[in-house]
Amino acid sequence: MSGLRFVDVCAGAGGLALGLEQAGFDPVLLLDKKPVACETLRLNRPAWKVLEMDLLEFVPDEHPETYDVDLLSAGPPRVKSSATVARTETEEEQRLLEAAVLLAHSIQPRALLVENVPGLVGAPEFRNVREFIREELEHLGYRLRWFVLNAADFGVPQDRKQGVLVALKERYFDSFRPPLPTLTTHVSVGSALRRSMAARGWRDADAWAAQAISVAPTLVGGSDNRGGADLGPTGTKKAWARMGVNGSALADDVPGPECDGSPDMVKLTNAQAALLQGFPDQWQFAGRKTARYRQIGHASPPPVGKALGSAIVNALRV
């Protein structure tokens, strides 16, 4: 163990936390308000301390083990422009983002990591949010670095851009470098899922994989208020169709011999969606099918978390 400790809020299904663990961090507390997400975390890491609570109600004084950790990480719900969603929804997401940043006042981590939408990094509609974050963190002695990463550059077979904020105490800031891509060639959907597509004897699995030569479009978990799981809006479903995938629903299992010669497009399973997010095979998701998919779609890909964690480790070890 490295001895580096972290607190993760809005932890979801644990994608970011898993990546940070792989980079050498040990969690002292993970927080999420959704019971099914907390169940997923406990299912995979029984030794982790998981707190089921709304971030807005979290009081660090009641959890002194969170003080003076090396890293505070957060993957709050994606903020959206007020032009595209209801004002109340936008305000709630922004409050959660700001609450995550404000925890730095009491926790006083050496580094802060926040992952969210790419637009948060530089889009004009989020200027006020960035200014709020800058003022709060600079007041506490942090310096900030904003940047965008694409999960596809880190071995995740998906075009998934993420806006990232890394803030470090003054003495560590100059040693931080955003992670560089680990791959020069992206992993295609076909190569990522060929083995699983063939697992039940589907003889067309190789032919399907040979034409699914692109990375996946961004997986979207969707809202808890919507109906069943699907792979995204109309444009995304068209991109899936070009790879022989029906994006309108998920399958309970991969194709078998009965699908040989079938003209219909295949459907992905939750396990395959998790592979497209960079989760290891053994990571399990709690809940029913739609709840599992939403956790997967909302997750931060673990390989990106590992790359970010490694970059922060390098800075903190100066």
Instruction: Match 């997401």 to its residue by tokens.
Output: 93
Q: How many CA atoms lie within 13 A of 206 on its CB side?
A: 2
**Torsion sign across C-alpha atoms 209, 205, 277, 293:** positive
Q: What pLDDT is recorded for position 85?
A: 45
pLDDT-based confidence at residue 14 (cuts at 50, 70, 90): very high
- Statement: residue 61 has pLDDT above 60: yes
Maximum pairwise Cα distance, the chain: 64
- C-alpha to C-alpha distance for 315 and 115, rounded to whole angstroms: 18
Higher-pLDDT residue of 85, 132: 132
Residue 86 has pLDDT above 80, yes or no: no
- CA distances from residue 171 to 110, 155, 226, 312 in whole angstroms, order as listed: 9, 32, 46, 13
| Range of lowest pLDDT (160-164, 209-213, 219-223, 301-305) | 219-223
CA distance 31 to 6: 12
Domain residue ranges of the chain, discontinuous segments joined by +: 4-181+301-316, 189-296
Which of residues 260 and 248 earns the better pLDDT score? 248
Q: Which residue, 229, 238, 219, is CA-closest to 277?
A: 219
Q: Which residue has the higher pLDDT, 281 or 227?
A: 281
261: left (phi over 0), alpha (psi -120 to 50) or beta: left
Are 195 and 152 contacting, i.e. CB atoms less than 8 angstroms apart? Answer: no
Residues forming beta bridges with residue 74, ordered by sequence position: 9, 114
pLDDT at 208 over 90: yes
pLDDT averaged over every residue in the chain: 93
Over residues 123-142, the mean pLDDT reads 96
Task: Report percent pLDDT > 70 for the chain.
Answer: 93
Q: Which of 14-23, 121-130, 260-269, 286-295 has the lowest mean pLDDT?
A: 260-269
Second CATH level (architecture) for the domain 4-181+301-316: 3-Layer(aba) Sandwich (3.40)
Strands 111-116, 25-32: pairing is unpaired
Confidence of residue 1 (pLDDT cuts 50, 70, 90): very low
The confidence band for 139, taking pLDDT boundaries of 50, 70 and 90, is very high
Whether the CB-CB separation of 305 and 16 falls below 8 Å is answered with: yes
Closest by Cα among 318, 267, 302, 298 to 116: 298
End-to-end CA distance of the chain: 18
Q: How far apart are CA 164 and CA 120, in angstroms?
A: 8
Q: Angle formed by the axes of helices 289-298 and 35-44, to 10°?
A: 80
Q: Which residue has the tokens 């422009």?
A: 81
pLDDT at site 236 = 92
- HSE on the CB side for 229, CA within 13 Å? 22
The whole-angstrom separation of Cα 14 and Cα 20 is 10
Distances (CA, A) of 220 to 78, 149, 183, 229: 11, 17, 24, 9
